[in-house]
Every structure is written in structure tokens, then in C-alpha cells.
Amino acid sequence: MKTVIMAGGKGSRIQSVNSELPKPLIPINGRPILQWEIECLVRQGFTDIILTVSHKAEMIEDYFRDGSKFGASITY
């Protein structure tokens, strides 16, 4: 089963906290919020993940790459 995560928003309301990073990469307890979500999905057996990205997409793609580092297969 594929899982789709919409991770392409601009994050305009949270820019005052961190304007350098796209919202999915803002760290919570040392890890990007999107990483927490992906790791939770993998623990539940969802390893085929599609990320829809737009704003600063290259930063998200550079961080997660193909997902193998996180036990998943990620496409964009």
C-alpha cells in the first residue's frame, strides 16, 4: 500500500520560527517533523511513500533521497 504525504506548502505562518527551512524540515527534538512522520509510518509497515513537494522541494529531496536510510522507498 502506498502512502502519500503532502509536504509542499510554503509554511508562511511558521516562517517567523525558521525561514531558512521548508516546514517539513523544521526540527522537533533534533529531527525534522517529516522524519518523525516517516519513521512512524515505517514502524507500522508503510514503506512505500510518495511525498508531494513544491516549496524548497530540493531541500526535502536532498534530505530524504530515496528513503532507504529511513527504511522506506520514497518517490516525489
Which DSSP string corresponds to the chain? -EEEEE-----GGGTTT-SSS-GGG-EETTEEHHHHHHHHHHHTT--EEEEE--TTHHHHHHHHTTSGGGTSEEE-
Q: What is the mean pLDDT of residues 53-70?
A: 97
pLDDT (0 to 100) of residue 56: 94
Q: Give the model's confidence band at 39: pLDDT under 50 very low, under 70 low, under 90 confident, else very high.
A: very high
Q: What is the mean pLDDT of residues 4-22?
A: 82
7 vs 45: CA distance, rounded Å: 20
- Number of domains comprising the chain: 1
Helix or strand or coil: residue 49? strand
Q: Name the pTM for this structure.
A: 0.90
Residue 17 has pLDDT above 80, yes or no: no
> What CATH number does residue 51 fall under?
3.90.550.10
Domain encompassing residue 31: 2-75
Average pLDDT in the chain: 93
